[in-house]
Amino acid sequence: MAFAHSPFDSEVQNGRVEGKGKYTFPDGHVYIGDFKDGQFHGEGTIHFTSGGKYEARWAAGLAVAGTYTFKDGLKYEMDGWDYCTESDRRFYSERVNGFRPGEPQLSNDPAGPPTIPVGTYDVGDGFYDPKDGVVHAYEGGDSVRVPEEQEKEWIVT
């Protein structure tokens, strides 16, 4: 059973989300996994709209242990992190696939960085246009979000 007009798509027992299910956050990120007494509990993964994911073991809504994996497959490691260091500036795709002959790779995406309009700033989840103060999607230019003033200042400096 799912709640009517709810971000949950899950089993419900005694008015609480229980068992396997799905929760969609207001920003579009999605948790798929176990619930107990209305909270993330057990094994579950948050899938981020950017393409990354956080796979974790949850207890009463808190992540007890987990692993973040970036969109390109790179797993984040708290200890011994050796990606993008002073001694090795290669992109992850170059570490996995080697260097391609020809033009240099300018982003971690072997297809190249997204094309953004002149006068805007690439912020990772879209491009920021200082004219309207909004982050837009790379494809289509739809509004993605409005950054807070502190982030706007950081983007343009």
Instruction: Give yes or no for a contact between 78 and 66, defined as CB atoms under 8 angstroms apart.
Output: no
The answer on pLDDT for 139 being more than 60 is: yes
The residue among 17 and 67 whose pLDDT is bigger is 67
pLDDT value at residue 65: 94
Please tell me which residue, 86 or 55, carries the higher pLDDT value.
55
- Kindly indicate the confidence band of residue 6, based on its pLDDT and cuts at 50, 70 and 90: low
Q: Number of C-alpha atoms within 13 angstroms, CB side, residue 112?
A: 6
The pTM of this model reads 0.59
What average pLDDT does the segment 61-75 reach?
A: 90
The DSSP result for 29-85, as a single string, is -EEEEEEETTEEEEEEEEEPTTS-EEEEEEETTEEEEEEEE-TTSPBP-SSS--SSB
Nearest to 99 by CA among 110, 87, 88: 110
Please report which confidence band the pLDDT of residue 1 belongs to, taking 50, 70 and 90 as the band edges.
very low
